[in-house]
Structure 1
Amino acid sequence: MSGKSVSSRSIPARITQFPYYESLFFLLERCKGKRQLNQIHALSIISGLIRKPSIASKLVASSALSPLPGTTPIARAIADRIQGLDTYTWNTIARGYLEANKPEEAFSVYSLVRRRALRVDSYTVLFAIKACEINIIQGEQLHAQVYKLGFSHELIIRTAIMQIYASYDRISHAEQMFDEMPQRDLVMWNSLIALYAQKRFPLKALQGLRSMVINSIRPNEVTAASVLSSCSSMKALKEGRAVHCYVIRKLRHCDIFLNNALIGMYSNCGDLSKALLIFQLMPSRNVVSWTSMIKGYVDNNCPHDALNLFTKMESENMRPDEVIVLELISMCSKLGRFELGRHIEAYLEKNIINKENHSIANALMDMHAKCGNMKKACQIFDGMMRKTLVSWTTIINGLARHGHGMLALVRFCQMQREGFKPDGVIFLSILSACSHAGLVDEGLKCFESMINDYHIEPWMEHYGSIVDLLCRAGLVKEALDFAEAMPLKPDTVVWRMLLGACQRQSNIELTHRVAKILHEAAPKSIEDYVLLSNFHAAMEGWGLTQELRGEMKIMGLKKQDSGSSLVEIDHAL
């Protein structure tokens, strides 16, 4: 009956008789679909076998653990109407809810078991702990109950509680759980080291490895992967190499996950040749392997190698994921590589990768904006079905950067009409756009709106943008008054802007005043000394000029090399 549906016609009449319920077990063990399960459920009700706990328990467990969607609520509905079900049956329902990603319902099963005074076993507590990963208050309450119920000595229970505290960044609580254990196994050590690695405590992860070895616990592949992640974040190449040596000498099997961790560590530490060697020697690679190697090239400023590896990935029919695409687009944005960006965008079109994904769309828009193609950036923005605050920030910042102040204001107003609340970053872009476009009134209104309407406390950069706005409009006296009235003490950047504006207007009185303030602000950078020296030279104050240059010589300050920029010519930098 493996290929046929269970129906009343195909079931022998004798199984409906109470003494012959073994046949119903036979059907439950071979049930392959929701329809069959419903038929067996109906049969158990009609025959009265549902009142027998062994039958009811088997039916509930089969429903709760079925891979078919929506069967766990059915199991719970059946169980709620039956008396005498054991703890195992309720555990299967909790497990089914967890597998269906419904932790609240899973925890409600634990609460019901406690209310009915049923026996609580390790699995009941373990499923309840896993259900608490979205509610730290429940987790703390359950932690106390673990002690009362007598499960505090079990390693698997304590490890699960550690993971709850870790998910809420309660590192000290997790450490206390670990320290209170009289005996610790490999799993618990791995949990602690993984916690440190995931929560950005790389030094503690390395210290945990050392303590683990001192306590005669031999690290395994899981330990090595966590420690390599910590070495990668610290750029600790020496320690990473030591872990690699341990992997070669002591671990028999270096799986794909460990190789990926090694590639990531060497790439992040700048040893691309070693990362590439590991990549080439891997017997099999997954998307993470390619991603780690391509990301290594991107992070180490090797665009040609990244593109070549991406092309090779295509030739081996390995479909790139969103991470690789975002990394390559980000590289094009940083380097201004428009041709490379077009190649990646053509790949997206060819392979129908979801450009409606707002992360990819935002990255493409930012790439075109930084490469100077605002028309294309606006086309991508207008074509987005769902825009995020990052989308609005990207397009407004791009328009501001390229001097389209009025268009940036139009987008800003459109964003507000569509219900998006601007943040400090967007206001910074708008103020910059108004400054470069000479829109003084609009810029001042936006600044006032930021404070009064959106209750955003201005940063130094916001105040600096207003000073720049007024200076560019020739309102130097107003800019100086604004700077002196700022609740924050103006930094040297603000005074440099004012000094430059005063010099451009040949306002000797204000220039002397600002120059004095800038000098009293302890100008220790070469830029400040050069600016003041040039000003006094222009004003024919040769004595002060010589004095400043003497100070520069005494302090060992020298003019740095001139800046540089990249220009792409015939696909080469």
Structure 2
Amino acid sequence: MISCLPSIPDPLPIDAAGDVRFRSSSAGPRPPVALRLLNQTRTLSQLKQAHAYILRHGLAHNPAVVAALLRLYSSHRRLDLASAVFSPTVATANTLHWNLMIRANVSNGSPVEALRLYNLLISEGSPSPDKFTFPFAITACSALTHLPKGMELHSLAIKAGFSDDTYVQNALIHLYFTCGSTDYARRVFDRMTMRTVGSWTALVSGLVGLGDLDAAKQAFDEAPDKNVVTWTAMIDGFSKNGRPDEAFELFHSMQAHNVRPNAFTVVALLIACNELGSLHLGRRVHDYARANSELSTNVYVGTALIDMYSKCGSLMDAVKVFDEMPVRSLATWNSMITSMGVHGRGAEAIALFREMERSGLKPDRITLFGVVCACSRAGMVEEACELFKYLVRCYRIEPELEHYKCMAELLGSAIVNGKEDEIVDLVRKLIGVMDDAGVQLMLEACRYHGDVKLEGVVSSCIHEVEISKEGGSSKTQLQQQQQQQKLCFSWEVG
């Protein structure tokens, strides 16, 4: 909590009564003052400032204050600070605190930690889990597609008397569909005495996820109440399963029912535009998003627009959307890099990659595939190999078969064009950054393309490397580290 103590140049708002100046009674500040202060925070720095005040005045163990801190730190995606506030061993840690921490970990992509906390709660024996604990823990099982643990939670919920709770049942329906246990999911749904919109949405989404669109549409039509999530689930299902026309028909029906679309509805419609290859429809969806400011600035919508414009043939529009986006995620950068590659702009794809690095984002497997394919389409053999080595070494990215297929296609084309000597040298260097699994994937990629000549080059280089290792001529670990640092540095300053 030391990080809370330094002064932060983001002062808290001060109301007319001066409450935020902490004009407390002589007995000292009370929890309501701390809660009011926390409710006034808008930024992480303000929250840390308020937390420092709470620590100084001995309110850090008040249950209501702890709960508020857990909620707020979780909303800022700072699970490290939330974990520091949470103390499972002290008497003030109640079920609400446990639930908040379990939910925070699920919401922020840490389902394993969520289940660890759940197991710890059960092993402690006190406090007891409640009807909110089980849905959060079951959702963690869904994220991990861990059916045995989910079934264990189902049985414990029955023993605890919560099996008829709607939230527990909705979470179980989602779990069983996610894990492919359709019969169990339908059994839970059919036995429900009271079904909410969430229950019907879980059923529709689950059937869509299994690709059973007709059953999903039947359930959708039978649902007495539908919200934007229900409508979007069905539209998304049609868009992703080869029925884009029906996606737009349903969207028009959604508007007729006065249900306001959200960002995910727009993304689903843009996927339908991709399926139809309709630039005209894509622009109409874009116009709709522009008319709703919260949609036009949404990072998911922006990323989907880049993908749609690129696939429908308008790279210029894709670049314009990218340039106008106030916030870009890694998926946004990957989409733009891939789009450049698809349109044969290899050099521009590499320039975008470097710009992405400077923005502080860490590339992933999709980035690697995007830049390698961009180089492949532009015939940039040496650049592709250098990028491949750089990303594998400096970012510890483990290439998959699709990456090696792209490299095999590029290297094979270069051999056909009479550059065999250059390719042999490049393959030797590539083999140097591959582990045994990577070497096998490279050979498999060569066989996939039926490129006997490239397979022979790769096999020969592998044999040379093995002999070199046996002969003791491999470089020392220090030399390898120095080469890696040099490689990373050359790209950073490039």
Using structure 1 for the length normalisation, give the TM-score. 0.62
Q: Provide the rounded CA distance (Å) in 2 between the counterparts of 1:391 and 1:184.
A: 40
The offset of 1:77, in angstroms, is 0.8
Alignment of 1:322-401 (within 5 A): 322-333=263-274, 335=275, 337-339=276-278, 341-350=279-288, 352-354=291-293, 355-381=296-322, 390-401=331-342
Aligned equivalent of 2:168: 223
Q: Provide the rounded CA distance (Å) in 1 between the counterparts of 2:159 and 2:224.
A: 34
CA 436–125 in structure 1, closer or farther in 2 if over 3 Å, else same: closer
The offset of 1:303, in angstroms, is 1.9
Alignment of 1:184-223 (within 5 A): 184-197=129-142, 201-223=146-168
Equivalent position amino acid for 2:423 in 1: A
CA 386–214 in structure 1, closer or farther in 2 if over 3 Å, else same: closer
Question: Is contact 2:99–2:133 with CA below 8 Å preserved after alignment?
Answer: yes
Aligned equivalent of 2:443: 492
Question: Is contact 1:431–1:466 with CA below 8 Å preserved after alignment?
Answer: no
Equivalent position amino acid for 1:370 in 2: K
Aligned equivalent of 2:234: 293
The offset of 1:409, in angstroms, is 0.4
Aligned equivalent of 1:49: none
The partner residue of 1:264 within 196, 205, 213 is 205
The offset of 1:466, in angstroms, is 5.7
Q: Deviations over 1:82-124 (max 9, x none)?
A: 4225635335435635798864355445424427xx9x65434
Question: Is contact 1:428–1:465 with CA below 8 Å preserved after alignment?
Answer: no
The offset of 1:137, in angstroms, is 5.7
Question: Is contact 1:499–1:515 with CA below 8 Å preserved after alignment?
Answer: no
Aligned equivalent of 1:44: none
The partner residue of 1:234 within 179, 192, 195 is 179
CA 245–88 in structure 1, closer or farther in 2 if over 3 Å, else same: same
Residue segments in structure 1 that go unaligned for 5+ positions in a row: 1-68, 503-509, 521-573
Question: Is contact 1:294–1:310 with CA below 8 Å preserved after alignment?
Answer: yes
Q: Provide the rounded CA distance (Å) in 1 between the counterparts of 2:42 and 2:323.
A: 40
Q: Provide the rounded CA distance (Å) in 2 between the counterparts of 1:345 and 1:241.
A: 40
Q: Deviations over 1:273-316 (max 9, x none)?
A: 34323333334332112111112223433222212101212333
Residue segments in structure 2 that go unaligned for 5+ positions in a row: 1-12, 464-494
Backbone CA RMSD of aligned residues: 4.2
Equivalent position amino acid for 2:250 in 1: L
Q: Larger deviation: 235-244 or 154-163?
A: 154-163
Aligned equivalent of 2:252: 311
Q: Provide the rounded CA distance (Å) in 2 between the counterparts of 1:448 and 1:157.
A: 46
Aligned equivalent of 2:36: 93
**Higher-Rg member (1/2):** 1
The offset of 1:190, in angstroms, is 4.0
Aligned equivalent of 2:121: 177
Q: Larger deviation: 279-288 or 227-236?
A: 279-288
Q: Provide the rounded CA distance (Å) in 1 between the counterparts of 2:133 and 2:334.
A: 44
Equivalent position amino acid for 2:277 in 1: F
Question: Is contact 2:14–2:21 with CA below 8 Å preserved after alignment?
Answer: no
RCO (CA 8 Å, sep 6+): is it higher in 1 or 2? Answer: 2
- The share of aligned pairs that are identical, in percent, is 16
Equivalent position amino acid for 1:330 in 2: I
Q: Provide the rounded CA distance (Å) in 2 between the counterparts of 1:257 and 1:389.
A: 31
Q: Provide the rounded CA distance (Å) in 1 between the counterparts of 2:137 and 2:184.
A: 19
Question: Is contact 1:401–1:433 with CA below 8 Å preserved after alignment?
Answer: yes
Aligned equivalent of 1:4: none
The offset of 1:220, in angstroms, is 1.0
SS in 2 for 1:284: coil
The offset of 1:234, in angstroms, is 1.6
The offset of 1:477, in angstroms, is 4.4
Matched, 1:467 2:411: yes
Q: Provide the rounded CA distance (Å) in 2 between the counterparts of 1:206 and 1:481.
A: 55
Matched, 1:245 2:190: yes
Q: Provide the rounded CA distance (Å) in 2 between the counterparts of 1:373 and 1:189.
A: 48
The partner residue of 1:321 within 238, 243, 262 is 262
Aligned residues: 424
Aligned equivalent of 1:548: none
Q: Provide the rounded CA distance (Å) in 1 between the counterparts of 2:243 and 2:154.
A: 34
Q: Deviations over 1:318-339 (max 9, x none)?
A: 3321101112222443x3x122
CA 212–500 in structure 1, closer or farther in 2 if over 3 Å, else same: closer
Question: Is contact 2:392–2:399 with CA below 8 Å preserved after alignment?
Answer: no
Alignment of 1:76-225 (within 5 A): 76-80=20-24, 82-85=25-28, 87-93=30-36, 96-97=39-40, 103-105=47-49, 107-114=51-58, 122-130=63-71, 133=74, 134-136=78-80, 139-140=83-84, 142-143=86-87, 147=90, 150-151=91-92, 154-160=94-100, 162-163=102-103, 169=111, 170=113, 171-181=115-125, 183-197=128-142, 201-225=146-170
SS in 1 for 2:23: helix
CA 436–263 in structure 1, closer or farther in 2 if over 3 Å, else same: closer
